[in-house]
Amino acid sequence: MIDRAFSLLEAAEQYPVNLGEGKLLGTQENDIHYLTGCAFEAIGMKEDAVLRFRMATNGMSEPVQAIFYNDPQPDKIVYQGLAWLKLGSPQKAEKIFNRLIEFADQHFDDEIKIDYFAVSLPDLLVFDTDLSQKNKNHCRYLKGLGELGLKNYSSSSKYLNEVLQHNCSHMGAITHLNMIDFLIKQKEADMSEIELPNETKNRNSF
């Protein structure tokens, strides 16, 4: 099963040829790095696990409305926090999780408008979409992810289910609802469980 996991994670890092498009510069793949780190950890390859967890902490960690397809996505940001937990830095992790929740609370009632000629939108039916309602659902999703990272699984489930009530095909909500059991079974690695390479120790000390 672990070989299958590695195979799927490696495939997830490659864009299909028939897509006809490569990765954008700076594409965040925190989720893939985090899960790959978990796979390495499961088979006792600690240094490889640490390397992947460190890779999962890279990139922008400030949430946005994520209207355009190349905006930082919250389901990438939450894995930065999960990776910091694995690296024994719960304060950094909690800051990320709490920021997701704070952003959602601050922007839930925002009225979202876009320019008539806006490009890079993820949806094709621009004129049939209530962007303010879509923003509210995005904020519910942010809160669900933040609570997930903080291990408030009941609250996380509540918000993620609310997302699905407004958009039954929201893949992020579906994925992370199913991930709750996985996270419950995960054991956070502290500094005594993972022997960090010297370079990692130095970077993790500030």
What's the pLDDT at 194? 52
**pLDDT digits 0-9 by tens, 106-149:** 988 877 666 554 555 555 455 556 777 888 999 999 999 999 99
Q: Are 100 and 74 in contact (CB under 8 A)?
A: yes
Rounded to an integer, the average pLDDT of 157-172 is 96
Query: Does the structure show a pLDDT above 70 at 87?
Result: yes
Give dist(CA 122, CA 163) in Å, integer: 18
95 confidence band (pLDDT: 50, 70, 90):
very high
Q: Are 77 and 103 in contact (CB under 8 A)?
A: no
What's the pLDDT at 69? 57
Domain boundaries, the chain: 2-198
What's the pLDDT at 134? 85
Compare 63 and 157 and report the one with higher pLDDT: 157
Percent of the chain's residues with pLDDT above 70: 78
**Best-predicted range by mean pLDDT (42-56, 64-78, 128-142, 187-201):** 42-56
Using alpha carbons only, give the angle 44, 80, 90 rounded to the nearest 5 degrees. 80
Rounded to an integer, the average pLDDT of 85-100 is 95
What's the pLDDT at 185? 83
Query: Does the structure show a pLDDT above 70 at 2?
Result: yes
Average pLDDT, the chain: 82
88 confidence band (pLDDT: 50, 70, 90):
very high
Give dist(CA 120, CA 193) in Å, integer: 44
Rounded to an integer, the average pLDDT of 21-26 is 75
What's the pLDDT at 15? 84
Query: Quick one: tokens of 41?
Result: 């950890």
Query: Does the structure show a pLDDT above 70 at 197?
Result: no
Query: Does the structure show a pLDDT above 90 at 105?
Result: yes
